[in-house]
Amino acid sequence: MADNKGLWNQIAGNWKQFTGSIKERWGDLTDDEITQLEGKRDQLAGKIQERYGITQQEANRQIDEWADKLKF
């Protein structure tokens, strides 16, 4: 996992702003699930891992890739 702690703090602090982008990227997650995550990166990774049947490492890679493309 890349050291994106500062970036992730911005994402978590503005979680509602990014829910649409998350839904776009991981469409199998429900709106309720995304809302309940409240910006918790580890829980997002767990949900992605569970829903898509991928490894934790792959889920974290996808999150890093998604986060790096965000515009603030």
Predicted TM-score (pTM) of this structure: 0.89
Q: What is the CATH superfamily name and number for domain 5-68?
A: YjbJ (1.10.1470.10)
pLDDT in tens, the chain (72 residues): 445 678 899 999 999 999 999 999 999 999 999 999 999 999 999 999 999 999 999 999 999 999 999 877
In whole angstroms, give the CA distance from residue 9 to residue 31: 21
Q: What is the DSSP string of 39-63?
A: T-HHHHHHHHHHHHT--HHHHHHHH
In whole angstroms, give the CA distance from residue 21 to residue 37: 14
For the chain, domain boundaries: 5-68
